[in-house]
Structure 1
Amino acid sequence: MRNALVELERQHARSAAVGIWSLDRPGEVMDRIVEAELRRHPSSSFLEQFVRSYDTLSEPDLARISDEIDEVISDAENTDADLEALVTRASDLLVRWDDVNQPVQVYEQHQGHEEGRSKRIYEKLRSLCLDLANNRSEFTEARRLSEALLRTFPELESVAEVLKGDVAALENLDEQQKLQEEYKTLIDACEAAKTKLPTPVSTVLKIFKDTVSKGGDDPIAFNILRDLALHINNDCNDPQTAFKLLDGALTFAGARPPKELRETLEGERAVLHRNWKMSELEKNKGNISAMSKTVDDMLKYARGTDRAELLQLKSKIDQKSNEKIGWWVTIGVIILLVVIFGG
């Protein structure tokens, strides 16, 4: 008797699934039914039979979609493939897959399982994502495909977190690649300048100005130039050229770095200027006039403690200059008196 009831329940479940499958959008209707029944009576044996029957009926459609996904993967392996179009096609196929298979995924998730065929589709397409990202640097399309997988398979709990990590990493790589392309001319010029001495300041600054004119207040161009300036100062011992690079960037009318970055650059410009002028000051030691002029130059950019020390030095130089002038005035007076009274 019990076996007869089980068989009758199975037949009813299959009849119900066939009825659902005959509708225009069977997956959508089935999804609503499964969600409602899971809330009402999740352990129902009829619901299990119902889902299994629906799953069997959907198998031919899923097989066709799976074959088409395999074709997309195969086509994407060609180096001259239109990846944008292929990823769009794969995303559309995932939507079709989910339209059919979503109710089964939801039911399996509720039972603590992951729907096997969906997981195999995920694994195949994620392999394509990894190939696009790791071997071909196609970060944009790899990110788009990962996002499509995440939208399609949130019920596969073991892979959802992996996909979230993939999407975040690919977004970062995609952004870096775009920035690399946007600033390629400036990066190449700065890297080339590191091997040329003296550094072609005017050439680099022209490329810098063209770049920031297009990029507004984007700080990336400033940091690229800053890296070159620090290299020239630290590795090439040429603070004069490094200063001219930073000064040229900061005084360019079209340059609008953020306030914090500007303050950093101005501080480094002051240090580079001091490093340059200190050797000049040492060379002019003993020449009061030349030392005074050099200190005046240094005060244009000096800040903080450096400025205070330079002001003290300036005062001492002026004092020496006044003493020297006073000595010559005294000599002049003596000569004048000798001329007057000697005559």
Structure 2
Amino acid sequence: MSDGVQKSIENDLDAQIAELTAAISRNPRDLKAYRQRGLLKARMRRYDDALNDFNRTLALDPNDAHAYGLRALVWARKGDRDRALVDFDEAIRLAPQNGELYRSHRDRVLAESSRAPIEGGDFSILKNPFVLLGLPPTAAPALVKEAYEDAVEDEVDDVDVLMRAQQTLMTPRLRIEAEVGGFLDVDPRLTSQIVSNIRVGATIDEISEQLGKLHSLPRSNVIAHYGSALPLEMAGLCELIAAQATVTPGAVCDAINDVREEIALGRVDREQVSEALSKLLDRQTKAVIERLGFSDGATDLFDRFVSKITADAYSPTLFRLDVYVRTFAQIIAPELSKRSEAIEAACEAIKKSPKSQSCRAKLDTALQSWISLLRPVQSYEIHRQREDATTREMYIKVRDLALWLANEKKEFESAGKVVEIATGVFGHLPRAAAQMKEEAAQLLDLRNEQLAEEILTPLLQACEAANKSHRAIESELLRAGFGPGSTGSVKALFDKFATAVGSTAKLPFSDAPWRLVREVAISLNNDSSAPRAAENLLQGILDFADHKPPTAEMIKALREDQRVVRKNQVEADLGKSLQAEKWGEAEKLAERLLTLETDEENLKSARQIRETVSAKHKAVVRTRWFWGIAAAGVLIWIVASNDNNRSGTTNYRPSPPSYSATTNSPTTMTRNDAFVPGDTSETMPAVGSGLSLSRSNIRYCSYQGIRLEAARSMITTESQRQGFNTGIDDFNSRCSNYRYRQSDKNAVDAELPGKRYALDAEGRALAATWQSNSLPRPRVNR
């Protein structure tokens, strides 16, 4: 209030006091003049003068309840609580019809204690016009006017606040808001107790018994008052929403009209009441949620509250929960925007430094902070079987970063880390979860391809060089083996192999270095008929495996390769012994062959040879021409163990490779004894088993087998594995078992040494077609 206005009021009061003083001079027994002058003096804070006038009034009329009430207020202003309470009690005794008014003033005096009152925040029941003026909902206009004057005199609040309260209660249209926002249809004594407790600072738990006596509307008003003053706990939030959910406009409308009929005030209709209640309950909710705030603890509490309410699909509180969640979303919007800016900054930092672990850590922290604020909203949306639009937009933003890193920068590892971070944050989004799982697998494949190229290229180049110089490396292998003591190009090959094994030991394609060097051994045996060199190479690999072992499947494959190479050596030596008629040596080699052979048909043939050689060793009197025929038979068996007169069969069934723990069945080691040139056209055979193949059909099967073996050593990813498996399935469906003319088979076999390197290159190119170079960009519904 301005100084000028205050001065004007004081002048006006002085003038009124002068008039009353003149009236008392004319009639010294005018008790009303004394009482009114005492009231005016009290308003001017001249409390001692006011007490003198009230004492004179009571001397003239000891039963003046009004004078007792006014004097009680002055005692209260002077801080004499005991005298104030005595005068209030006397006023109530003398004028019980005005007892509610005097009790409200008395309760206010009692509320003056060491504890501060629970003032309330944006929703304060103490500001309700009825409570502010100390009136019951049944107060008629005349009583309202009198209570207003008393409140002004008592300086209960600012004059303009008290004026608005009076106008609200005097205007039927406005009064409805005060009626629904107070203690409608509540015993005045219970109202007085609750208001008094609020004013003396009683907690909500301390008035729980009184709260239980209130019906839903006034109970929601009291709980909201406490919730706007101090953050509610879980029990308070649940009590508030339960009270709000059970408020019925029809019952409230009837209660208001009953009161208004009693005091002859205009009736209200149900639509007016529904509108007033809707505004009231929304005000309650907004005040409580704002006071709750969005600290980590508050957000967690609200999230648990949302989950508790949504857990009961038939709870009447569910329809109110939407207002709570929308209000919470509005309150956190500014803070959420700040946290979004932190995420954008982290994304930009990653774009500038894709390999920076600290930048990714900042993104993870920013996203976790951002998502923690939205969890209550997400919990509610999940209950509604919807995706939160804000969360979806942020997911798309982070996913775009991963796509950019993979497709534009080829930073597959960083992109995978970003997807991993996003999975931890957005994994609850149904569509996003499946999408991220697929993309994480693709990124892992791409990263493995990239790593494989970086790590294995030196070894691959060394293996290619070795395959182009079989005679040189054969000599080196026979002289110094494969290991740290090797020499020349074999030593360079071993060093690159050891480096690659160490670099891939903990990677998904740890068997790849072993496969590459193993292919060199297979090529030495099959293409250059150098089984001893191949065995030395395999033995060196197995010796190295004692210190740094590959997978059990790879060791099994290497040992099988070693067995086949040794068998080939024994077969070759056996053939030479038979031709040289060295029967004792041949018998030992036949025995050795039986320990190396695994095929039952071949074992049967080997036993027959052993028996024949043994018999010859014991009966040297037999003719030499028989052994020439026997030796020729052994050589034919060595070349094609399943040869049956003029036709034969061959089997090629590699197992599907993978850079995880998978089995790699060895390529069958063979020997080529015939070299017949022919054309080089290939014709793909029809699908089937036991078919008779032409030379061009056989050429396709032989060439394609080499291509697939070369492709096998390049496989590092799941997509390549799938492509390889498809190729093997097709190959086996055409070439796993067939009939052929021996001359055609020999002719094709003779072509292989000259075609080997070209076919290897074609196989590696084939493997490259099975890999993906970038992540797809599926259409995103924004």
What TM-score results when the alignment is normalised by the length of structure 1? 0.75
Q: How far has the Cα of 1:102 moved from its partner?
A: 1.0
CA RMSD after TM alignment: 3.9
Query: Post-superposition shift, 1:69?
Result: 2.0
Cα offset, 1:288, TM superposition? 1.9
- 432, 435, 455: which one pairs with 1:162? 435
**2:341 paired with 1:67:** yes
For 2:386 and 2:502, locate their aligned partners in 1 and report how far apart those are by CA, in whole Å: 56
| Counterpart among 360, 368, 379 of residue 87 in structure 1 | 360
Residues 232 and 256 (structure 1), Cα distance of their counterparts in 2 relative to 1, 3 Å cut: same
1:264 is displaced (CA, Å) by 3.5
- Counterpart for residue 228 of structure 1: 520
2:559 to 266, 273, 281: 266
User: Aligned equivalents of 2:396 and 2:592: distance in 1?
Assistant: 65
Match of 1:30 in 2: 302
Separation in 2, partners of 1:250, 1:63:
61
Once residues 455 and 422 of structure 2 are traced to their aligned partners in structure 1, the CA distance between those partners, rounded to angstroms, is: 29
User: Which one is further off, 101-110 or 160-169?
Assistant: 160-169
Could you list the runs of 5+ residues in structure 1 that have no partner in the other structure? 328-343
Q: What amino acid sits opposite 1:143 in the alignment?
A: G
What displacement does 1:293 show? 6.1
Q: Alignment partner for residue 17 of structure 1, among 283, 289, 293?
A: 289
Deviations 1:160-206 (A, max 9, x none): 22223334554566567667767666555435434443474533345
Q: Which is greater in Rg?
A: 2
Q: Is the 8 A contact 1:13 1:50 kept in 2?
A: yes
Could you tell me which amino acid in structure 2 is paired with residue 272 of structure 1?
Answer: V
2: CA distance, partners of 1:266 / 1:45: 71
Give matches, 1:171-210, under 5 Å.
Answer: 186-198=459-471, 200=473, 201=477, 202-203=490-491, 204-205=493-494, 207-208=496-497
Distance 1:96 1:57 in 2: 16
What count of residue pairs does the alignment treat as equivalent?
Answer: 324
Distance 1:247 1:298 in 2: 22
Secondary structure of the 1:114 match is coil
Shift in Å, 1:124: 1.2
CA contact (8 A) 1:292 1:314 kept: no
TM-score w.r.t. the length of structure 2 is 0.36
Quick check: 2:350–2:356 contact (8 Å CA) kept in 1? Answer: yes
TM-superposed CA distance for 1:18, in Å, is: 1.0
**Is contact 1:16–1:50 with CA below 8 Å preserved after alignment?**
no
Cα deviation for residue 91 of structure 1 reads: 0.6
| Structure 2 residue runs without a partner (length 5+) | 1-271, 478-489, 624-782
Alignment of 1:1-343 (within 5 A): 1=272, 2-21=274-293, 23=295, 25-40=297-312, 41=315, 44-78=318-352, 80-170=353-443, 186-198=459-471, 200=473, 201=477, 202-203=490-491, 204-205=493-494, 207-208=496-497, 221-234=513-526, 236-240=527-531, 241-251=533-543, 253-254=546-547, 256=549, 261-276=554-569, 278-279=571-572, 282=575, 286-289=579-582, 292=585, 296=589, 299=592, 302-305=596-599, 306=602, 309-310=605-606, 312-317=608-613, 319-320=615-616, 323-324=619-620
Whether the 8 Å contact between 2:351 and 2:405 is mirrored in structure 1 is: no
Helix, strand or coil for the counterpart of 1:9? helix
Kindly indicate whether the alpha-carbon contact (under 8 Å) linking 1:183 and 1:211 is maintained by their aligned counterparts in 2: yes
The worse-fitting range, judged by mean Cα deviation, of 105-114 and 159-168 is 159-168
Q: Residue 583 of structure 2 contacts residue 616 of structure 2 at CA under 8 Å; is this kept in 1?
A: no
Asked whether the 8 Å contact 2:570–2:589 carries over to 1, the reply is no
**2:380 alignment partner AA:** Y
- Could you tell me whether the CA contact under 8 Å between 2:403 and 2:415 is conserved in 1? yes
Judge conservation of contact 2:587–2:610 (CA < 8 Å) in 1. no
Percent sequence identity is: 22
Distance 1:270 1:44, change over 3 A: closer
Question: More helix by proportion, 1 or 2?
Answer: 1
Query: d(CA) in 2 for partners of 1:23 and 1:311?
Result: 85
| Larger RCO: 1 or 2 (CA < 8 Å, sep 6+) | 1
Cα deviation 1:273-292 (Å, max 9, x = unaligned): 33455456556663123993
Q: Counterpart amino acid of 2:320?
A: F
Greater CA drift, 32-41 or 83-92: 32-41
